[in-house]
Structure formats: C-alpha cells, structure tokens
Amino acid sequence: MMVVDDSVVIRGMISRWISSEPDMVVAASLRTGLEAVNQIDRVNPDVAVLDIEMPELDGIAALPKLLAKKKNLAVIMASTLTRRNAEISFKALSLGAADYIPKPESTREASAADNFHYDLIQKIRNLGAKARRAAPVVHAPAAPHVQDLRPAPALRPAAAPMPTQTLPAAALARRAFSSQMPKVLLIGSSTGGPQALMAVVTELGAVIDRFPVLITQHMPPTFTTILAEHLARSSRRPAHEAVDGEVIKPGQIYLAPGGRHMRVARHGADAVIALDNGPPVNFCKPAVDPLFTSAVDIWQGSTLAVILTGMGSDGMRGGKDIVAAGGSVIAQDEATSVVWGMPGAAANAGICAAILPLNQIAPKLVRLFAGDRS
C-alpha cells in the first residue's frame, strides 16, 4: 500500500488506519507524485491512495506514469469535495484510476473522519484483493525443505471479505425474465460505476425516450451533480439529479443526489420522486435498496433492475423484492466488474435473470424493452 499526499497530517492519519488493519501494510508514505513515480518499482504496491493537489507532480499527472510502470495498480484518487476536484476525479477515472474518495474538509469533524476512514479501508481492501488476483504469478524454483521461521506476509486474506462468487459463473442459478413488459429501468452501482454507467447509457437510445431511467450510484454531493452532466452528454438525453416530488416521466434519467436516498411514491395518478434524509442503508447514502424496494409498489412485475459493479451487497435485498413481485434483475459479471460485490451478491442469491459482461448489458436491455422476453 502506498500513500501519496503532500499533507503530513493526512499521510500520518491514513498510514495509522492502514497499519491497524491485520491484512494491510503501508509500504511507502510519500509527499509528491514524483516521489511515487520514482519509487513504485521498489515499493511494488497493490494499491495507491493518490492526492490530486501536490507539488512537483500532481495526482492527475502522476496517474498515467504510475499505471505505465504497474498496469494492475489500483489507484484511489483522494481530494477535498470541490467541483474542480470532482471534475478532476472523473478525468482520473477515464485515465485508469480505480476509484475516488472525498477527503473531509477537517479531520476534527468526527463523523466526516469516521466515514472517510470506513470508506477508505473498504475501498483499499476490495481493490487490493482484485489487484492481487490480477497480478501475474511468479513460480520460484523449488528449494530444499526448511522450517519457515519468517513472519506471515503483511498482506493476508481480508479479515472480513465481501461476498464473492461461490459457484462457477455457468452454474449460478438464473430465473426466467418476467412475462410482463418492463415499464421502468432501475440501475444501482458503486465502485467502478461511473465508467460502467457511461458505457450502458451511451447505447440505450430509444429505451430512454420511451421509459424512465432511475439510477442510484454511491457518490457524495457535488460528484452526483457532475455525474448527471456526464450521463446527459453520454446518452444525449436529459439527465439530472432527482428533485423531491417531481413527476417521473419517460425520456428522463433521474440520478439520486449525493447524501439523499431516492425512492419512488404514488401521487394521484403519477409516480413521483421521494427523497429522504434518513440514516445510511448498507453503509451508503444514497443506497440502492430503497429505490428498488419502493419501485415495486409502483410498477410491480414491470420493474427491470440492473446491478453494476460495486462493493458490498446493496441492491440484493431490493432485487429480491423486485423478483418476488414478478420483475427481473440483471447483474454485471465478475470479469468486467471493478469489484464484484453488489452484482455478485445478487448473482449468488439466485435472483438474476442474466449475468452479463458490461458490453452486453445495453443490447440486452434494448431487446427486453422492445418486447423480447427470453
């Protein structure tokens, strides 16, 4: 693990958190992107937390240089929560960063620091596990057997692993798609979600014109504002952060705003957005489950949901409610997910009608909304 930040306070805080985890070790704590580029071959980390604003070589300039030296390095961009830094974080994702995390404005704010602590450790653990699985295996020549008195490796299996695939992909149970024509598309995503969402909405075209699309992406305020703008550009359709009480209409992409859960409700003859400021669900706010579960009351078996890449199991319980009402769930497959937590939980729960690579999800949705039931 490599921590790169020009603030000695932030470096020290993150390093202490990582060192207290039984399955993590800080291999280097560095002040600039230039130091990181110069030392990555020696340090050889699985994960790097990379600040955006640094002297000599900032995070966005250091990122491609780091990835050129270590292709499977998982880079988490860290920045204060400003529009400029959010824009830079989105650019970093397009350049190969695995994820981003907003730093609290002040480490003296206990709740903000606690959330940052929890989110960072979970991101490091999940992304680090995938990076190690992707690393090439080097087989050392056989040596005479001697008693191994060395300490255990610093990076051990995670103490609390996220749900993973327990069966070969082909053996995971699939349900039949709903016999009812879908009337709404719901999408839930987290780590790796922005890139995945862009790939999906770019190809949806007429589906968006004829049906409403509601998205919950685990993301803080400001970031969701920018994500909505990116979704609008990618889809060439209207996309915006949802507003409490607005009527849900075809031709629109509604994105849950950061820091608020997005549900749907009935107001007279209309389905409307219902935002709430309740506690986190599955450690997330916004969370996917509230959206999925509430949609059942409006669209019943005509609800179609997609669970994209992300940590944890958010979306699985709501997906169960959708399936119980006669609707359908599609999950992204493990190979194309940045983290196969959320879609993996749904797949292993046996609620999915399809488990697909990212590039096959949009074409499948187009066929389903055109009347294909297979």
Which of helix, strand or coil describes residue 206?
helix
The DSSP code for 321 is H
Dist. CA 340–CA 126, nearest whole Å: 9
DSSP state string for 33-100: HHHHHHHHHHH--SEEEEESS-SSS-HHHHHHHHHHH-TT-EEEEEEES-HHHHHHHHHHHHTT--EE
Dist. CA 278–CA 260, nearest whole Å: 8
User: Of 99, 218, 328, 333, which residue is the catalytic one?
Assistant: 218
Determine the distance from the C-alpha atom of residue 295 to the mean position of all C-alpha atoms in its chain, rounded to a whole number.
Answer: 22
Cα atoms in the 13 Å half-sphere on the side-chain side of 302: 11
- Is the CB of residue 209 less than 8 Å from the CB of residue 235? no
What's the sign of the alpha-carbon dihedral 233, 185, 246, 194? negative
Dist. CA 211–CA 220, nearest whole Å: 27
User: In the structure, how many helices (H) and strands (E) does the chain have?
Assistant: 12, 14
Dist. CA 25–CA 4, nearest whole Å: 14
User: Of 58, 119, 314, 333, which residue is the catalytic one?
Assistant: 314
Dist. CA 119–CA 100, nearest whole Å: 10
Determine the distance from the C-alpha atom of residue 62 to the mean position of all C-alpha atoms in its chain, rounded to a whole number.
Answer: 23
User: Of 29, 178, 190, 234, which residue is the catalytic one?
Assistant: 190
Closest CA to 15 of 48, 43, 44: 48
**Is 190 annotated in the active site?**
yes
Which of helix, strand or coil describes residue 356?
strand
Which residues are catalytic, by number? 190, 218, 314
